């Protein structure tokens, strides 16, 4: 159907190739939004299109850029597709872009910046996996039609040919955008055979866009779940990260679990669906973990930067993954999960390492999981100042994230219990703030440094200095700030008890 050209003509956007199924009022709104966004990028897009046209090549704004323009959320990143091969694209961009890079050239992509826009131009693609490959084989397509039919979903299979501004939508992406539906251009089986990572992308887009995944797509994801194992850990990690940082990660995570894909990429998550029988009732750990994740997201505003925060979200999702391994049925019908914090931290470290997350992320998530139960010893505020200092010392740079995780970990429906927990944590944070003001708590150190220790004791660098330092640190945690004279006296007292002092 030739759709809405009258609405587009006044600003120069003329021809639409699309579907008969679209709702007029939805499409009209999408068109208005697209016109506004596309006009914003027109000086760059039209000029680039003219350069390629003059060289005898097609160029089109494509994929997520068109989708986001229709959703009125187009940013500064612009994706283009072209009939030109990478070498020719590089030549056409050289001297026009402010900066140019070719790190993606072997995959058909040349990138650059122009007037504040990040631009990537990719040759028409027709990629696919073979049965044993962990990376797609790069193959070039012959036309925009070839390129669009091999894209992941219909909402990403739309293009605007430049500089003529012709909107191309052969698979009904605009209608699916109006229906908020994730559907594939061809059969989902073919799409997921071409690139199994698209199964995770379906879950990610459901979370990012708030869209529903078509039943036939869900069925194919379920049937082909094991195929995800041929995808590299790095690509899986990147999709999981994008999903977790989306506005509603529960949606996508639930889809990954329900289709069986999570069994292959994050098996610790479906393992939380512990059986609950009539004799051993306890919380549904899986649903609890998803709720903690949602509550942590609501509390991210407390963090520096205000979120979204990957470390906090990973820790919230995985904080109880040690429970299945530590579950024990107690006499009388109770259930215990002793040391699930320690076990869970080790499990999280192993899984995140397998997914190739950066070491800093792994360390921070593992630390939060191992510490997430510490607060529960505070009930009623009976901790000494020494215990509060140790809590801060052990949390280190993760203290603010630990505050968020601990507060989010309360999912009780008992309002009285929930209020008591909140008041207890308010009390703990107030004490931390007071001690921090009094003692520079965030940088707890002994009252004497290593050089002072060596000078006072007349010893050389070595393990003995470390032992003395740790002793003074324990004194600092127990008693707070000491004067230099008191710290010196405590060091000499300790030294007098060491066998090395008499040698």
Identify the pLDDT of residue 275.
Answer: 53
Q: What are phi and psi of 277, to 5 degrees?
A: -105, 175
Spacing of C-alpha 380 from chain mean position: 36
Please enumerate in sequence order all residues whose Cβ is within 8 A of that of 481, keeping only pairs 6 or more positions apart, or say none.
438, 439, 447
Confidence of residue 256 (pLDDT cuts 50, 70, 90): very high
Number of C-beta neighbours around residue 140 at 10 A: 16
**What mean pLDDT comes out for the span 245-256?**
97
**What mean pLDDT comes out for the span 438-447?**
59
**What mean pLDDT comes out for the span 315-344?**
84
Identify the pLDDT of residue 20.
Answer: 41
Identify the pLDDT of residue 283.
Answer: 56
State percent of the chain over pLDDT 70: 85
Q: CB pairs under 8 A, 24+ apart, for 473-479?
A: 473/444, 473/445, 473/446, 475/446, 476/389, 476/444, 476/445, 476/446, 476/447, 477/386, 477/389, 477/390, 477/393, 477/444, 478/386, 479/386
DSSP state of 212: E
Helix locations, 332-414, DSSP H: 340-354, 359-371, 385-395, 399-408
> Average per-residue pLDDT in the chain?
84
Identify the pLDDT of residue 247.
Answer: 94
- Of the listed ranges 19-23, 258-262, 398-402, the least confidently predicted one is 19-23
113 or 469, greater pLDDT: 113
Please write the tens of the pLDDT for every residue from 477-487: 777 777 788 88
Confidence of residue 389 (pLDDT cuts 50, 70, 90): confident
H or E element, residue 50: helix 24-54
Identify the pLDDT of residue 492.
Answer: 83
Domain with CATH 1.10.3210 in the chain: 273-443
**What mean pLDDT comes out for the span 146-167?**
92
Q: What is the dihedral of CA 479, 480, 481, 482, to 10 degrees?
A: 0
pLDDT at 172 over 60: yes
pLDDT at 93 over 80: yes
Identify the pLDDT of residue 5.
Answer: 34
Confidence of residue 61 (pLDDT cuts 50, 70, 90): very high
Question: Alpha-carbon distance 136 to 278, whole Å?
Answer: 49
User: What pTM, to 2 d.p., does this model score?
Assistant: 0.79
Identify the pLDDT of residue 338.
Answer: 73
- Of the listed ranges 188-192, 405-409, 452-456, the least confidently predicted one is 452-456
Tokens of 332: 């009388």
pLDDT at 501 over 80: no
State percent of the chain over pLDDT 90: 50
Cα distance from N-terminal residue to C-terminal residue, the chain: 96
Domain with CATH 3.30.460.10 in the chain: 1-179
4 or 161, greater pLDDT: 161
Identify the pLDDT of residue 8.
Answer: 35
Find out whether 272 and 286 touch, Cβ atoms under 8 Å. yes
**What mean pLDDT comes out for the span 125-154?**
77
Identify the pLDDT of residue 14.
Answer: 39
Find out whether 136 and 129 touch, Cβ atoms under 8 Å. yes
**Residue 61: strand pairing partners:** 80, 160
Q: What is the 3-state secondary structure (H, E, C) of 398-463?
A: HHHHHHHHHHHCCCCCCHHHHHHHHHHHHHHHHHHHHHHHHHCHHHCCCCCCHHHHHHHHCCCCCH
pLDDT at 21 over 80: no
- Of the listed ranges 9-23, 37-51, 70-84, 322-336, the least confidently predicted one is 9-23
Angle at 246 (CA atoms; ends 297, 227), nearest 5 degrees: 125
Find out whether 422 and 407 touch, Cβ atoms under 8 Å. yes
Q: What is the 3-state secondary structure (H, E, C) of 284-336?
A: CHHHHHHHHHHHHHHHHHHCCCCCCCHHHHHHHHHCCCCHHHHCEECCCCCEE
H or E element, residue 62: strand 59-62
Identify the pLDDT of residue 250.
Answer: 97
The closest of 277, 286, 280, 368 to 321, measured between CA atoms, is: 286
In CATH terms, the superfamily for domain 1-179 is Beta Polymerase, domain 2 (3.30.460.10)
User: Between the CA of residue 128 and those of 149, 195, 334, what are the distances in Å?
Assistant: 12, 6, 52
Identify the pLDDT of residue 10.
Answer: 29
Identify the pLDDT of residue 25.
Answer: 47
- Of the listed ranges 7-16, 19-28, 208-217, 242-251, the least confidently predicted one is 7-16
Domain with CATH 1.10.110.30 in the chain: 184-266
Identify the pLDDT of residue 1.
Answer: 24
CATH topology for the 273-443 domain? Hypothetical protein af1432 (1.10.3210)
**What mean pLDDT comes out for the span 419-435?**
84
DSSP state of 150: T
Identify the pLDDT of residue 184.
Answer: 97
Identify the pLDDT of residue 191.
Answer: 92
**What mean pLDDT comes out for the span 421-432?**
85
Identify the pLDDT of residue 4.
Answer: 33
CATH topology for the 184-266 domain? Hydrophobic Seed Protein (1.10.110)
Please write the tens of the pLDDT for every residue from 258-308: 999 999 999 999 999 875 543 344 458 899 999 999 999 999 999 988 879
């Amino acid at each position: 159907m030739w759709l809405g050209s009258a609405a587009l003509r006044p600003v120069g956007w003329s021809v639409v190739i699309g579907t008969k199924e679209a709702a007029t009022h939805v499409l009209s709104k999408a068109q208005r939004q697209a016109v506004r966004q596309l006009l914003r990028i027109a000086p760059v897009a039209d000029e680039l299109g003219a350069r390629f046209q003059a060289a005898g090549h097609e160029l089109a704004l494509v994929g997520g850029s068109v989708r986001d323009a229709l959703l009125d959320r187009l940013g500064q990143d612009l994706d283009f597709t072209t009939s030109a091969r990478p070498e020719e694209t590089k030549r056409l961009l050289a001297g026009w872009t402010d900066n140019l890079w070719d790190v993606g050239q072997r995959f058909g992509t040349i990138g650059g910046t122009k007037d504040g826009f990040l631009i990537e131009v990719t040759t028409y693609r027709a990629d696919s996996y073979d049965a044993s490959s962990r990376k797609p084989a790069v193959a070039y397509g012959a036309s925009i039609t070839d390129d669009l039919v091999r894209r992941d979903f219909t909402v990403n299979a739309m293009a605007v040919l430049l500089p003529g501004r012709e909107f191309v939508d052969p698979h009904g992406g605009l209608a699916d955008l109006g229906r908020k539906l994730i559907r594939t251009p061809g059969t989902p089986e073919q799409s997921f055979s071409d690139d199994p990572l698209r199964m995770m992308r379906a879950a990610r887009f459901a979370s990012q866009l708030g869209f529903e995944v078509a039943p036939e797509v869900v069925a194919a994801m379920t049937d082909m779940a094991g195929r995800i194992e041929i995808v590299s850990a790095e690509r899986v990690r990147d999709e999981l990260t994008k999903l977790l940082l989306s506005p509603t990660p529960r949606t996508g995570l639930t889809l990954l679990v329900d289709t069986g894909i999570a069994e292959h990429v994050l098996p610790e998550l479906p393992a939380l669906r512990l059986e609950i029988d009539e004799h051993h009732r306890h919380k549904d750990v899986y649903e609890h973990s998803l709720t903690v994740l949602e509550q942590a997201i609501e509390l991210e505003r407390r963090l520096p930067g205000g979120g979204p925060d990957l470390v906090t979200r990973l820790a919230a999702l995985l904080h109880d993954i040690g429970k299945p391994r530590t579950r024990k049925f107690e006499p009388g019908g109770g259930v215990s999960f002793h040391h699930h914090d320690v076990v869970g931290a080790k499990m999280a470290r192993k899984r995140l390492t397998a997914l190739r997350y950066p070491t800093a992320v792994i360390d921070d998530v593992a630390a939060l999981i191992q510490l997430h139960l510490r607060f529960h010893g505070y009930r009623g505020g009976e901790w000494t100042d020494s215990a509060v200092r140790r809590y801060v010392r052990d949390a280190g740079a993760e203290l603010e994230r630990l505050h968020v995780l601990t507060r989010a970990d309360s999912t009780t429906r008992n309002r009285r219990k929930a209020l008591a927990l909140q008041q207890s944590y308010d009390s703990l944070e107030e004490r931390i703030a007071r001690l921090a003001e009094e003692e520079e708590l965030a940088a707890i150190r002994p009252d004497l440094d290593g050089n002072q220790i060596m000078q006072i004791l007349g010893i050389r660098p070595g393990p003995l200095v470390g032992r003395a330092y740790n002793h003074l640190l324990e004194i600092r945690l127990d008693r707070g700030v000491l004067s230099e004279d008191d710290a010196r006296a405590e060091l000499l007292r300790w030294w007098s008890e060491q066998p090395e002092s008499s040698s």
